[in-house]
Amino acid sequence: MNLTLIGMPAAGKSTIGVILAKTLGMHFVDTDILIQEKEGELLQNIIDKKGNDYFKQVEEKVLCGMDVRDTVISTGGSAIYYPSAMEHLKKDGLIIYIDVEFEEIERRLDNISTRGITLAKGETLKDLYNKRVPLYEKYADLTLKSEAGMTVEECIDAIVKALRISGKLK
C-alpha cells in the first residue's frame, strides 16, 4: 500500500513524507524531484521557460506513470488537477491531505517566485488556495489538520494514529 500526500506548497508534504516513510519502514518518492530529474531543470525554470501548461503535462505524465509499492509519495500542490492521476494514486493506496491554514502557508512561502508554483497570470496565492482546497478535500481518504506550531513528529504521530484507527495500519 502507498500513502500519497497532497496539499498546498509549504504544507510540509516532503518533510513529513521522508520521516513518515522512515517511521513506517516504507520507501519515499517526491514527484517534484522526479519532474526535475526528467526535465533536467528546476521546477521554476521549467515553468519560466516552457510555461504552466507544459509543466502540467509533464506533472500529469509523471503522476500517472507512478508504479511503486509500499511507498510514501509526496506530490506537487497541483497534483489534484489531474483526475486520472488521482485515480491512479488512489487505486494503489491512500491519499492523505496535509491541511494547513492559509495564513500559515503564506508565512512559510517566502520564496513563492522561485518555488515552482503554477500561478495563472493575475492569480494570487489566496486565489490558488481557495481553488485547490475543495479538490484536496474531494480526493482525501484521510485529512491531517496541521495546526500552527505542530511539530513534524506530532503530524506523523497523528497520521499513524489515524491509519491505525482506520485499520489501514497495524
Residue pair 117/77 in contact (Cβ under 8 Å)? The answer is: yes
Q: Could you read off the pLDDT of 93-121 as tens digits, one per residue?
A: 999 999 999 999 988 887 666 565 777 78
Alpha helices in 10-121 (DSSP H): 13-24, 31-39, 43-64, 83-91, 102-108
With respect to residue 66, please indicate whether it lies within any of the assigned structural domains. yes
Q: Tell me, what CATH number does 25's domain have?
A: 3.40.50.300
For cell 502540467, the residue is 56
With respect to residue 46, please indicate whether it lies within any of the assigned structural domains. yes
- Nearest alpha-carbon partner for 131 in 141, 143, 123, 122: 123
Q: Could you read off the pLDDT of 121-146 as tens digits, one per residue?
A: 888 889 999 999 999 999 999 999 98
How deeply is 170 buried, as exposed, middle or buried, from its count of CB atoms within 10 A (0-12, 13-18, 19+)? Answer: exposed
Residue 104's CB: how many other CB atoms inside 10 A?
Answer: 18
Q: Which domain holds residue 118?
A: 2-165
How many domains are contained in the chain?
1
CA distance 132 to 8: 8
For the record, the C-alpha cell of 112 comes out as 513563492
With respect to residue 170, please indicate whether it lies within any of the assigned structural domains. no
With respect to residue 106, please indicate whether it lies within any of the assigned structural domains. yes
Q: What is the mean pLDDT of the chain?
A: 91
Taking the CA of residue 87 as centre, how many other CA atoms within 13 Å lie in the half-sphere pointing to its CB?
3
- Residue 112: what pLDDT? 64
With respect to residue 76, please indicate whether it lies within any of the assigned structural domains. yes
For helices 13-24 and 152-165, the axis angle rounded to 10 degrees is: 60
With respect to residue 137, please indicate whether it lies within any of the assigned structural domains. yes
Residue pair 72/2 in contact (Cβ under 8 Å)? The answer is: yes
- Residue 110: what pLDDT? 75
Q: Three-class SS of residue 76?
A: coil
- Residue 39: what pLDDT? 95
Residue pair 96/140 in contact (Cβ under 8 Å)? The answer is: yes
